[in-house]
C-alpha cells in the first residue's frame, strides 16, 4: 500500500472533509443501531400484552403504544439518512477534489516535460495514467475510505449492541461472516482481473478502429476492407468471450452473499430459540439479532471489495508516481522580464540524441547579429531541424553553448526566449479549432484584429475566404482538411502574428507552388525587417535578402559565407544554384 502514501498530503489538505466525514458516519451508524432495539421493544411489548390477555385478541393491544414505537423508528431512520447524506457530502466530495488536484498535478507534470519524454512514453500510456489510473485511485479515496470507515464503526457499534444482549448468540451468528469476507475478496479479485482483460481488449478494439479510420484512404485504395472487417470480427469475438467469463463470476457474487447471510440468520433463529427456551433472552431479541446480522453483512462483504479496490488503486498510484518522479530535463531557472534584441551565437555546439545516440550536431559555431538573415541548407538528416530545436531549447546541448544576446540560453528566461522566437516547424500542426484561433494561438493577447493582415502576408487570406465559413472554418480532426501548402501558410501566419524578434522557418515553403512562394518571399522581405531569421530550406530563395548562408552536412558546417563566397567554392551550394537555374530554364 506504500504507493498510496503519496496521497496523504491531500488528506492533510482536506482534513476537515475527512474528519467531519468520520463524525457523520459514526452518527449515522449510531442511529441505525437504535432501530432494531426499538423493534425488539415493540415485539416484546406485543408478546407481553398477548400473554397478559392470555392470548385472547390482538385488538386488545394498545395501539397508541405501537404508534409511538413506529414514530421512533421513523425518526431514527430519518436521522440516519440525514447523516448518511452528510457523510457522502464530505467524503465523496473530498475524493472528487483530490481527483481534480491529482489530475491537474499529473497534467502539469506532463506539460513541463521535455520533448524526449514524449518520445519515450507512448501517448496512449500517458493518457491512461491521467484518466483511468486516476479514476481507480479515486475509488480508493472515495468509496473505499467511506465504506472503510463505515464498516469499522458499524461493526464496533453492532458488536457492542450484540454483546450486551448475549455474547453466546453473538459468537454463533458471527461464524459464517469471515467466510463471507474471504469469498467476496476472492470473487472481487477474479472480477477485477477479468474486467482488466476486458478493458485491455476494448482498448485494442479502439486502437484498431482508430487506425483503420485514420488510414481509411489507404485501406480503401488497396481494397482491404474485407480483411480488416474479418480481423475486427475476430477481435470483437475475443471481447465477447472475455465478457462472458466476467458474467459467470459476476453471477456468483449475489448468490454467495445471500447464502452466507441466510446461514447466519438460520443460526440466529436456531440458537436464539434455544436461548429463549432457557429464558436467557426474550423473543424480541431474536428479531433484533436478525437485523444486526443483516447490518453486518454489508461491512463483511465490503471488506473483500475494499481490499481489492485498494490493491487496484495501489497499482494505479504506482504508475502515477512513476511519472511524477520524472523531473523534466529542461528547466526554466529565470523568471525575469526583459527585452530580446535577437543576436544569436552558436559556440562549438555538439549534440547527440539521447535515445538513439545519433550525433546530430558536431562542433557548430556561427554568429548572427540582430536583424541578420541566415539561409540554412543541407541534405536531409544533415541536422537542420536539430539546430532549430536546440535554439528553442527543446533539448540542451552536450558541448559548447548557444547564446542569445550574448547570454547562454540555459540561463535565459525560457518563456521569453520561446515567446520571442517565431517558429514555423517542418511538420505543421493545426489544432482542431477554427482557422482564426489557430492563427491567433501565437499571440498572448488574443487580439484578432490583425489575423487577416498576417494571413495576407502568408498569402493564405484568399484561400481562407474560399472556405465555407472563412476564418471561422473548423480545421483538423473535426473540420475541413487543408492542403499541405495551406497548412504551412496558416502556420507562417501563426508564427509572425506574435511579432517575435527571431524567426525560424523550417522548410516552410516546401509544399507551396513557385508563384505563391514568390508572393510570400516578397512579403518576407518587409516582414523580416529588424528580425533575426533562420530560414531552413532545400530550395534557394532568390528574391530574399540573405546575409549569410550555412551548408550543413552530417551535423557539421561544411560551407559558410555569402552567396558570392559559397558560389566560388564550387561545392554543394554551387551545385544547388546550378541545378535550380537549370530547372527554371527547362
Ligand atoms: N528525435 C530524434 N531522435 C533521434 N534522432 C533524431 C531525432 N531527430 C532527428 N534525429 C536524427 O538526427 C539527424 C539529423 O536530423 P534532422 O535535424 O531532422 O535533419 P534535417 O532537418 O536536416 O533533415 C538524423 O540522422 C536524424 O535521424
Ligand atoms: Mg528537417
The pLDDT of 148-165, averaged and rounded, is: 90
Rounded to whole angstroms, the Cα distance separating 274 from 282 reads: 11
3-state secondary structure of 221: helix
Cα–Cα distances in Å, from 173 out to 154, 180, 267, 389, 437?
16, 12, 6, 72, 68
CA 194 to centroid of chain Cα atoms: 23
Total number of residues shown for the chain: 586
**Average pLDDT of the residues of the chain:** 88
Q: Which CATH code is given to the segment(s) 2-324?
A: 1.20.1560.10
Of the ranges 71-80, 211-220, 533-542, which is most confident? 71-80
Percent of the chain at pLDDT exceeding 90: 39
| Cell triple for 256 | 454467495
Instruction: Identify the pLDDT of residue 193.
Output: 86
Q: What is the pLDDT of residues 214-257, one digit of tens each?
A: 888 899 999 988 988 999 999 999 999 999 988 988 888 788 87
Residue 106 · residue 320 · CB < 8 Å: yes
Asked if residues 573 and 378 have their Cβ atoms less than 8 Å apart, the reply is: no
Which residues are CB-contacts of 392 (< 8 A; sequence separation ≥ 6)?
417, 418, 421, 423, 504
Cα–Cα distance for residue pair 381/377, rounded to 1 Å: 11
Neighbours of 143 (CB within 10 A): 18
Q: Where are the domains of the chain?
A: 2-324, 336-420+501-586, 428-499
Spatial neighbors of 146 by CB under 8 A, at least 6 apart, are: 21, 25, 87, 88, 91, 92
Lowest mean pLDDT among 133-137, 179-183, 373-377, 560-564: 179-183
Q: Work out the average pLDDT over 138-147.
A: 91
The model's pLDDT over 368-405, given as tens digits with 9 standing for 90+, comes to: 999 999 999 998 899 999 999 999 999 999 999 999 99
Span from the CA of 167 to the centroid of ligand 2 (angstroms): 81
C-alpha cell at 39: 423493534
Beta carbon of 376 within 6 Å of any ligand 1 atom: no
* Cα 382 to averaged position of ligand 1 atoms, centre (Å): 8
336-420+501-586 and 428-499 agree in CATH topology: yes
**Does position 540 have pLDDT exceeding 70, yes or no?**
yes
Write the pLDDT tens digit of every residue in 9-53.
Answer: 999 999 999 999 999 999 999 999 999 989 888 888 888 888 777
Is the domain covering 336-420+501-586 a CATH 3.40.50.300 domain?
yes
State residue 184's pLDDT score: 81
pLDDT at 55: 62
pLDDT category at 331 given cuts 50, 70, 90 is confident
- Stretch 124-142: mean pLDDT, rounded? 89
| Spacing, Cα 416 to ligand 1 middle (Å) | 26
Cα–Cα dist 175/263, whole Å: 9
Residue pair 451/515 in contact by the 8 Å Cβ criterion? no
Closest ligand 1 atom to 386 CA: 17
Of the candidates 190, 161, 456, 183, the residue with the CA atom closest to the CA atom of residue 301 = 183
Query: Ligand 1: which of 357, 386, 390 to mutate, most ligand atoms within 8 Å of CB?
Result: 386
CA angle, residues 561, 565, 569, in degrees to nearest 5 = 110
Q: What CATH number does domain 428-499 carry, 3.40.920.10, 3.40.50.300, 3.40.50.10090, 3.30.750.24?
A: 3.40.50.300
Amino acid at each position: 500500500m506504500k504507493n498510496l502514501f503519496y496521497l496523504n498530503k491531500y488528506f492533510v489538505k482536506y482534513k476537515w472533509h475527512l474528519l467531519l466525514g468520520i463524525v457523520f458516519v459514526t452518527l449515522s451508524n449510531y442511529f441505525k443501531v437504535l432501530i432494531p432495539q426499538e423493534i425488539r421493544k415493540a415485539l416484546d411489548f406485543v408478546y407481553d400484552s398477548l400473554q397478559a390477555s392470555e392470548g385472547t385478541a390482538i385488538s386488545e393491544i394498545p395501539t397508541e403504544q405501537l404508534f409511538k414505537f413506529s414514530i421512533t423508528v421513523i425518526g431514527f431512520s430519518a436521522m440516519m439518512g440525514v447523516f448518511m447524506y452528510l457523510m457522502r457530502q464530505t467524503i465523496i466530495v473530498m475524493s472528487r477534489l483530490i481527483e481534480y488536484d491529482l489530475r491537474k498535478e499529473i497534467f502539469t507534470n506532463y506539460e513541463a516535460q521535455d520533448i524526449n519524454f514524449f518520445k519515450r512514453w507512448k501517448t496512449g500510456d500517458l493518457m491512461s495514467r491521467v484518466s483511468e489510473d486516476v479514476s481507480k485511485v479515486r475509488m480508493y479515496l472515495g468509496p473505499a475510505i467511506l465504506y472503510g470507515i463505515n464498516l469499522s464503526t458499524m461493526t464496533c457499534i453492532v458488536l457492542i449492541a450484540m454483546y450486551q444482549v448475549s455474547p453466546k448468540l453473538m459468537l454463533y451468528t458471527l461464524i459464517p461472516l469471515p467466510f463471507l469476507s474471504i469469498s467476496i475478496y476472492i470473487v472481487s479479485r477474479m472480477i477485477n482481473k477479468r474486467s482488466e482483460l476486458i478493458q485491455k481488449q476494448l482498448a485494442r478494439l479502439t486502437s484498431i478502429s482508430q487506425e483503420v479510420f485514420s488510414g481509411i484512404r489507404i485501406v480503401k485504395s488497396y481494397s482491404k476492407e474485407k480483411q480488416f472487417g474479418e480481423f475486427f470480427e475476430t477481435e470483437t469475438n475475443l471481447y465477447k468471450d472475455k465478457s462472458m467469463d466476467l458474467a459467470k463470476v459476476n453471477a456468483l457474487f449475489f448468490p454467495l452473499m445471500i447464502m452466507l447471510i441466510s446461514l447466519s440468520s438460520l443460526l440466529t433463529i436456531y440458537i436464539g430459540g434455544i436461548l429463549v427456551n432457557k429464558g436467557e433472552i426474550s423473543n424480541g431479541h431474536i428479531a433484533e439479532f436478525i437485523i444486526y446480522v443483516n447490518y453486518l453483512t454489508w461491512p463483511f462483504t465490503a471488506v473483500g471489495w475494499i481490499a481489492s479496490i485498494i490493491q487496484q488503486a495501489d497499482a494505479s498510484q504506482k504508475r502515477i508516481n512513476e511519472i511524477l518522479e520524472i523531473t523534466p530535463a529542461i528547466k526554466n531557472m529565470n523568471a525575469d522580464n526583459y527585452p530580446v534584441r535577437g543576436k544569436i551565437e552558436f559556440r562549438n555546439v555538439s549534440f547527440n540524441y539521447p535515445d538513439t545516440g545519433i550525433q546530430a550536431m558536431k562542433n557548430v559555431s556561427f554568429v548572427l547579429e540582430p536583424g541578420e538573415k541566415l539561409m540554412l541548407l543541407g541534405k536531409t538528416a544533415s541536422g537542420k531541424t536539430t539546430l532549430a530545436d536546440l535554439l528553442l531549447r527543446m533539448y540542451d546541448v552536450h558541448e559548447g553553448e548557444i547564446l542569445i544576446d550574448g547570454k547562454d540560453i540555459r540561463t535565459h528566461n525560457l518563456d521569453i526566449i520561446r515567446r520571442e522566437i517565431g517558429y514555423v516547424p517542418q511538420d505543421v500542426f493545426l489544432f482542431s479549432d477554427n482557422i482564426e484561433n489557430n492563427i491567433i494561438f501565437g499571440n498572448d493577447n488574443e487580439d484578432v484584429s490583425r489575423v487577416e493582415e498576417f494571413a495576407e502576408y502568408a498569402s493564405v487570406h484568399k484561400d481562407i475566404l474560399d472556405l465555407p465559413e472563412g476564418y471561422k472554418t473548423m480545421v483538423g480532426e473535426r473540420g475541413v482538411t487543408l492542403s499541405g501548402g495551406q497548412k504551412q501558410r496558416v502556420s507562417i501566419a501563426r508564427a509572425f502574428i506574435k511579432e517575435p524578434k527571431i524567426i525560424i522557418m523550417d522548410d516552410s515553403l516546401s509544399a507551396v507552388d513557385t508563384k505563391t512562394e514568390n508572393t510570400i518571399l516578397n512579403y518576407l522581405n518587409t516582414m523580416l525587417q529588424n528580425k533575426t531569421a533562420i530560414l531552413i530550406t532545400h530550395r534557394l530563395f532568390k528574391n530574399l535578402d540573405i546575409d549569410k548562408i550555412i551548408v550543413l552536412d552530417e551535423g557539421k558546417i561544411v560551407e559558410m559565407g555569402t552567396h558570392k563566397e559559397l558560389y566560388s567554392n564550387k561545392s554543394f551550394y554551387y551545385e544547388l544554384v546550378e541545378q535550380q537555374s537549370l530547372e527554371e530554364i527547362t
